[in-house]
Amino acid sequence: MKYGARNQIKGRVKSVKKGDVMSLVKFEVTSPVEMASVLTTESVDDLKMKVGDEVQLIIKAIHVLPIKK
C-alpha cells in the first residue's frame, strides 16, 4: 500500500488506552523520544495493537498513522 505522507518513523507501542469510540496509543521512538496518536478503538482492535508491537509511523500534517507490518 502506498501513502501520500513521506515522513516515516519506526516505533514501538508503549501504551494503549481504549475508550468506547476513540483510543490513545503512545509510541516509543528513537527521535523524537515519544509520539502519540488518537485513533478509533475499532482501528486499534483491527490492527490487534498491543504494548510492545513494532510499528511504522506515517506522519502527515497533524496526524500520526500507525501501520503494523
For residue 6, the model assigns a pLDDT of 64
Domain-embedded: residue 37: yes
Q: Is residue 18 part of a domain?
A: yes
Contacts of 28 (CB under 8 A, 6+ apart): 11, 12, 13, 14, 34
3-state secondary structure of 26: strand
The CATH number that applies at residue 20 is: 2.40.50.100
Task: State the cell numbers at 68.
Answer: 503494523
pLDDT of residue 10: 83
Q: Which residue has the cell 503494523?
A: 68
pLDDT at 1: 61
How many domains is the chain built from? Answer: 1
Q: How confident is the prediction along the chain (69 residues), in pLDDT tens digits per residue?
A: 666 666 778 888 999 999 999 999 998 887 766 788 889 999 999 999 999 999 888 876 667 778 887
Range of the domain at 42: 7-68
Please report, as a single letter, which amino acid is at residue 21: V
pLDDT of residue 65: 74
